[in-house]
Amino acid sequence: MRYKPIIWLLCLSLAFATCKKKNVEPKLPPETQVGANTFGCRVNGQVWVPSGNDGTPNMLPYFSPSINTFAIGTYRIIGRNNIGSIYQNVGIALLGLTEIGIYPLAKDKARIGFDNQQNGCSYDNILPDNYYG
């Protein structure tokens, strides 16, 4: 009966050896026109979706009627350090909206920004030196 502990150890080691964490690639959420509170885009060809929660919504759409601007601010938490969470942020603002419609993300009508706090890489389509990192 002294083989019983060895058999149990062998079974446990096989069980843990077969458990592998699957690396699931994020997918873009489906397009909607119903206010489903979803957001997704591609950054440098990679799918980017908001994730994590720091006590505030990780995707916040808002409209400012005083300046006719609709904007979406999003973040995802990509790590932690001794100060707190490390973020990536994506923001899109459509400027000068005058009526309901479809608006292109053209430079004169939209502002698009990305910020990666982990490596200091940022992008802003309006500023003259719009990429640094």
Mean confidence (pLDDT) of the chain: 82
Q: Are 124 and 130 a contacting pair, CB within 8 Å? A: yes
Supply the pLDDT for residue 114. 92
As a whole number of angstroms, the distance between CA 79 and CA 94 comes to 30
Q: What is the mean pLDDT of residues 104-133?
A: 79
Q: 37-61: per-residue pLDDT in tens?
A: 889 999 888 999 999 998 999 999 9
User: What's this model's pTM, rounded to 2 decimal places?
Assistant: 0.70
Q: What is the mean pLDDT of residues 10-24?
A: 60
As a whole number of angstroms, the distance between CA 94 and CA 61 comes to 11
- Reported confidence tier of residue 77, pLDDT bands at 50, 70, 90: very high
Domain boundaries, the chain: 38-132
CA torsion angle 73 79 84 89 (round to 10): -20
Percent of the chain with pLDDT over 90: 35
pLDDT over 60 (residue 108): yes
Supply the pLDDT for residue 20. 59
